[in-house]
Chains A and B, each alone.
Chain A
């Protein structure tokens, strides 16, 4: 008995050391890291495809100019140094000299220029490189990005999975827009990152192998990375438990997270998702019916008990979110919440001109786009009944049906999850910008329009002074939290799971959408 207690103490101590990120001296090399992807991969080429599923293999196959540490500080990667001019209009990247693509060809500034062109033409996040007018290539290792206006968001847009450098001599054989469907996106991929593609079988696995000529000496530490595709969260949980899988990311089901936390050999952590920045919210259509009155939106916020969502639905796995910017972001400023107050809610509804008639003040609808958030929607229905608002839950047959309702403004309320994607310019502005009221999902589907908010975002987008920028986003967050085009309830509880053989698991800001060249296996 004594021995086993000792063993437990030792393993607790070890996991405490790991959790604080202290790296033991030295590292082992070699070995096969078995990881998991939660859904099928449409495209391995992260220059043309967004999303966390492409991000993980994408960031291993392709290198970006920079990488970020866990303190949101840019670090050299493919660019050994960079310089932003005083007026903010030119950004010079000095590339490492020895970088090669997986076919042995050198990575030059031509490839940077080409990649920017491809991303601008194909990637859904248009705001990332929209101000980049041209890329000059004075020599093979210098790329100069010429901007039409200062663009501080460019820094984060040059890291993680957002700026994958792809070889011009492979992908430049047709029209720029053809890269989206290039046959070599998924086979015979020639990348620039620490691992090269061995085999991709959709529905089964992606297998990567160490690229021996990687431009950082001695890295990556691993020989192989296997990414198994397991779409069922319960099956993934079993695979973590029995050690079949060393590491996985983006686990978001509270029950599974709490179950895995009880396993001694596993570390389950919500750290490392700040730049992915997924937040859950109750969207309210500000252009239609009673919800166009801010008092009604506030009344709803006062009637919905966030505490219940955190405790009962998220089971303690999620963090609070109050402002549209992910709480891990340096720009986040927590706003005063709407602590549940049914009386206040009733007063606001009376003021707005919705007295109780025959037991009901109004009828609203609520939508949801995927089954996982049905409990939240049912909760809102039950909660609003207490302030005499009848809510009809509308099921959508599939995701596109829901997306169409959102895009065309055919909804009163809906549950939604939106990602920050690094800088607020990339993932936050789209929800509140009055010029972005578009037909697509995850645009300003709430039809929110506030001239001051538009102005603040426009200023923040070009403000190069970090403190001034923070001040602009502070005012922005205050207005958003006050006017409630969406009611922010919680972060989506993404968690990374890894067993105690895995060292240096990625816990920066980009989750696994970052090179895992420093991960090693202790076995």
Chain B
């Protein structure tokens, strides 16, 4: 089971700490990440700044702590958006079959063949780089995998005997879909969702690296993006937030893997 998976358990603890930091950070470390508090390019550990300062003399630790909120919130919100879209599309397609499935799957394929980063860049460039828009842009381009997983689960489960039994006893379509089939289709969707959070964080980092971000909000990717031209002068300004993204995404993946092992009946140890 999950608790037996040491890597996943460890990752879960680290993730918990990061979440705690995101939630409580601004109270523990109230320095505004946009304030110039010291001389520019003061290296980590010198002059009392644990992670040093950037090219304007802003505290990197503050940027990291305050940025964790934005990165994680965007990760969670964008993953939710893609789950909602993906599950709805996949459930309808897998349940109704026929022309509904045809239509929805063609739409899914349409979104699947679009280069995702490019498409989200277009959305952000067109509608402005605000946090909700960035979240939506990431959600809109990454729901296709969820839709396909949901549909395949629905296709399998809808033919099972207990679904037949419910149908025979007069359950409505919506009841069949959301009360009977969906709960049984959830395990792979949950795993997919966990991985989605990680990739959404990466996505946000990519967009802000390219400058497509709300410049008034600090996020890890934004810190990397704005410091990248100083990589030769002060490499820590880029590597530290880079490590933060790396660790977070890795932990999310490990937890996702652990969930997969725990929820997959075929791998379940007896």
Q: Are A395 and B129 in contact (CB under 8 A)?
A: yes
In the complex, residue of chain B having the shortest beta-carbon distance to the beta carbon of A371: B211
Q: Are B34 and A381 in contact (CB under 8 A)?
A: yes
Q: Are A312 and B56 in contact (CB under 8 A)?
A: yes
Q: Are A255 and B232 in contact (CB under 8 A)?
A: yes
Q: Is A176 an interface residue (CB 8 A)?
A: no
Q: Are B215 and A255 in contact (CB under 8 A)?
A: no
If A255-B233, A378-B56, A382-B58 touch, does A395 touch B36 (CB 8 Å cutoff)?
Answer: no
Q: Are A374 and B211 in contact (CB under 8 A)?
A: yes
Chain B residues, CB < 8 A from A383: 36
When the two chains form the complex, which single residue of B34, B129, B213, B233 contacts A385, counting CB atoms closer than 8 Å? B34
Q: Are B215 and A382 in contact (CB under 8 A)?
A: no
Would you give the shortest CB distance from B138 to chain A, in whole angstroms?
Answer: 17
Q: Are B216 and A392 in contact (CB under 8 A)?
A: yes
Q: Are A312 and B125 in contact (CB under 8 A)?
A: no
Would you give the shortest CB distance from B211 to chain A, in whole angstroms?
Answer: 5
Q: For this complex, into which size category does the number of interface residues on chain A fall? A: 20 to 34
Residue count of chain B within 8 Å CB distance of chain A: 25
Would you give the shortest CB distance from A360 to chain B, in whole angstroms?
Answer: 13
When the two chains form the complex, which single residue of B32, B34, B126, B211 contacts A395, counting CB atoms closer than 8 Å? B211
- The docked-state distance in angstroms from the alpha carbon of A375 to that of B213 is 15
Chain B residues, CB < 8 A from A339: none
Would you give the shortest CB distance from A371 to chain B, in whole angstroms?
Answer: 5
- The docked-state distance in angstroms from the alpha carbon of A383 to that of B36 is 8
In the complex, residue of chain B having the shortest beta-carbon distance to the beta carbon of A401: B125
- The docked-state distance in angstroms from the alpha carbon of A255 to that of B227 is 13
Q: Is A82 an interface residue (CB 8 A)?
A: no
Q: Are A312 and B55 in contact (CB under 8 A)?
A: yes
Chain B residues, CB < 8 A from A5: none
Q: Is B235 an interface residue (CB 8 A)?
A: no
Chain B residues, CB < 8 A from A382: 34-36, 56, 58
In the complex, residue of chain B having the shortest beta-carbon distance to the beta carbon of A256: B229
- The docked-state distance in angstroms from the alpha carbon of A248 to that of B32 is 42
Q: Is B226 an interface residue (CB 8 A)?
A: yes
**Residue in B124, B211, B215 with the greatest tally of chain A CB atoms within 10 Å:** B215
- The docked-state distance in angstroms from the alpha carbon of A408 to that of B57 is 34
Would you give the shortest CB distance from B14 to chain A, in whole angstroms?
Answer: 31
- The docked-state distance in angstroms from the alpha carbon of A255 to that of B213 is 25
Q: Are A393 and B215 in contact (CB under 8 A)?
A: yes
In the complex, residue of chain B having the shortest beta-carbon distance to the beta carbon of A365: B216
Chain A residues, CB < 8 A from B212: 395, 397
Chain B residues, CB < 8 A from A385: 32, 34-35
Would you give the shortest CB distance from A253 to chain B, in whole angstroms?
Answer: 8
B 47-63 to A, binary, CB cutoff 8 A, 1 in contact else 0: 00000000111100000
**Residue in A253, A313, A371, A375 with the greatest tally of chain B CB atoms within 10 Å:** A375
A 391-430 to B, binary, CB cutoff 8 A, 1 in contact else 0: 0111101100000000000000000000000000000000
B 9-41 to A, binary, CB cutoff 8 A, 1 in contact else 0: 000000000000000000000001011100010
Q: Is B261 an interface residue (CB 8 A)?
A: no
- What would be 8 A-B contacts, judged by CB atoms less than 8 Å apart? A374-B211, A378-B56, A382-B56, A385-B35, A393-B215, A397-B124, A397-B125, A397-B126
B-to-A contact residues, CB < 8 Å: 32, 34-36, 40, 55-58, 124-126, 128-129, 211-216, 226, 229-230, 232-233
10 shortest interchain CB distances as A-B pairs: A393-B215, A397-B125, A382-B36, A312-B40, A395-B215, A395-B129, A371-B211, A393-B216, A392-B216, A379-B56
